[in-house]
Structure 1
Amino acid sequence: MVRFDDLDLFVRTAACGSFSKAAREANLLPGQVSAAIMRLERDLELRLFARSTRSLRLTDEGERYLPYAREVIELLHSGREVLRRDDAELTGTLLLAAPSDFGRNLLLPWIGEFRRRHPRLEVRLQLSDQVTDVFRDRVDIALRYGQPEDASYVALPLAPDNRRVLVAAPAYLEQCGIPASLDDLQHHSCLLWQLQGRVYDKWVFPIGKARRIVQVKGALVCDDSDVVRRWVLAGEGIAYRSWLDVGTDVRAGRLVVILPDQPGEPAPLNMVCPHRRQFSPAVRQLHALLAERCAALAP
């Protein structure tokens, strides 16, 4: 098994170009460094250095192995620093992007609670239903609905079992009637959301292992999901919304779930960031808080 101390001495020796210089930096004897390199070569079954009485250079195998060794050492150092900082007071700036409806009606008070716990941390919140590009946009993390489609970023689950539900206000149902099946939706005013000019008027429902797509129509369309929520609360029609966004209204009696026995489309909520190295103490502690709050809203 490779020893991390040996790996560290390999990286140091490659940078210094000699056992003696690496030994001075590590406060060791040259023979100790040489023994560590030989032990590492034996463990890897590779020749990492070509040695002579006057020179020391990396072999081809050593050149190819060096970047991986550096990455392991950097990760170990980063992990140690993270553990040291976990108990420290959170400072700096956290850039967070979130969907409009979820951000305004649920996330805002949770961010306030998080800030009261960590008063020296600055939080910059961006609310939009546009999909944030965590690689190009100036954000540290983003909250996203849906199954992660890109394996190049890391997704931490917040509400993995969240689903969409059909909802309407009691006043609308009293006036227009309650749909008895998915087919009845075509006879109702449905509140539609659009993104980048595309109107989402085909609602998807799981039927066993298959799925059914229902074409709906409505005279009210908006690219802000919070506006769609306000319309449904005002009795303007039927909406197909994430349970997280409407669960509080359902429990309070402001909205009614339609066809409760019909499963809705999965809508898991995740915290997304480009790389695990960005899991700062602030990100990890915010994730723990949001996961706890989302779990409390589960149906």
Structure 2
Amino acid sequence: MIRLDDLQVFIRAADHGSLSAAARQLDLSPAVASAALKRLEAEVGAQLLARSTRSLRLTLAGERYLVHARAALDAVQAGSLALAQDRQALAGSLSLSMPSDLGRNVLRPWLDDFLARHPGLSLQLRVSDRVADLYRQPVDVAVRYGVPDDSSLVALPLAPDNRRVLCASPDYLARHGAPHAPQDLRGRQCLRLVLGEAVHERWSFERDGERQTVAVSGRWMSDDGEIVRRWAAAGRGIAYKSRLDVLADLRSGALQALLPDCLTEPAPLYLVTPHRLMLSPALVALREHLQTCLAGYLAEP
């Protein structure tokens, strides 16, 4: 198979009448440039350049091949330019489903910035902690916590190492004290999230290699993750939330992390779509944008 790098060496050497000049322009050693030319000649089955210690010239075969080599390289460069222009001028519409707390308070400003960069795009947002049915609802892509149960879905990692954080407000801790072990959560006011028809009330931890699951209870439950976080910040009880959801509150001191010596439940964040054929340039660009924003957000002091 002919390599583009080898074509570049041949074209530059033909243009300058010197293999060493071609090597300098391409930032290659003379030996590497010579090997590239020999590899190309072996691939096409003809001598393209007649070389001596003092001169270099195109052979008849080389003159004929040079036209096609230039055309091939120009075509590849034109294709790369077209793709770059597509990325810079994205158009069309995207329908995106995202969780309530993360969507409203973290993702929304980043999505606004994404649309500002790509004025040809339009975006429809569906904000809910209920898992969107990507086959039945008019949704192109969903931001979700956790690996999808349906293996036919395409899940692209956004924050694969994200985990839950056990947390409460300083006011709550001043009144009730902090738990020192997972078992201490029994009998506490635990703020529970309703996921579909199920209540997330069995909270798991790992300490010293031993997994512990605690059945928690409390007076406050909601199917909206933002409400659960607001209850926690208001001192209503203890929450077990995604770190991405509560990171701003942890940094400001509105919430404090508890049981720091326990490994908490994983809560990886994915961009999920029904099929790889739906990975449009706009969707690929959105994923790259969100990955960059998440990396910067997590790296903030």
TM-score by length of 2: 0.69
- Is 2:199 aligned against 1:206? no
1:210: Cα distance to partner? 5.6
Q: In the alignment, which residue of structure 1 is the partner of 2:189? A: 189
Q: Which amino acid aligns with 2:236?
A: E
Unmatched 5+ stretches in structure 1: 2-78
Please name the residue that 2:237 is paired with.
237
Residues 54-93 of structure 1 mapped to structure 2, 5 A cutoff: 83=83, 86-93=86-93
8 Å CA contact 1:155, 1:271 repeated in 2:
yes
Counterpart contact for 1:156–1:270, Cα < 8 Å: yes
Tell me the equivalent position of 2:177.
177
The residue aligned with 1:216 is 216
Quote how far apart the aligned CAs of 1:88 are. Answer: 4.7
User: 2:143, 2:157 → 1: CA distance?
Assistant: 10
Is the 1:147–1:268 Cα contact (8 Å) retained in structure 2? yes
User: How has the CA–CA distance of structure 1 residues 206 and 175 changed in structure 2, closer, same or farther, with 3 Å as cutoff?
Assistant: same
Name the structure 1 match of 2:291. Answer: 291
Give the equivalent residue in structure 1 for 2:162. 162
The structure-2 alpha-carbon separation of the partners of 1:87 and 1:143, relative to structure 1 and needing over 3 Å to count, comes to closer
1:281–1:269 Cα change, 3 Å: same
Which deviations, in whole Å up to 9, do the C-alpha atoms of 1:119-165 show, x marking residues without a partner? Answer: 22110000011111222211111011012332211111000000001
Mean Cα displacement is larger for which, 92-101 or 287-296?
A: 287-296
Task: Point out where structure 2 has 5 or more consecutive residues left out of the alignment.
Answer: 2-78
Which residue in 2 is equivalent to 1:106? 106
Deviates more, 1:94-103 or 1:288-297: 288-297
Which residue matches 2:247?
247
Q: Give the corresponding residue for 1:148.
A: 148
Identity %: 48
More off after superposition, 209-218 vs 92-101: 209-218
> How far is 1:252 from its partner?
1.0
| Cα deviation code 1:63-112 (max 9, x no counterpart) | xxxxxxxxxxxxxxxx99x9376345111111000011111111111111
- Max radius of gyration: which structure? 2
The aligned counterpart of 2:274 is: 274
Residues paired across the two proteins, number? 222
- Name the CA shift for 1:157/1:280 in 2 (closer, same or farther; >3 Å): same
DSSP 3-state at the match of 1:135: coil
Name the counterpart of 1:62: none
Shift of 1:285: 1.0
Counterpart code for 2:200: Y
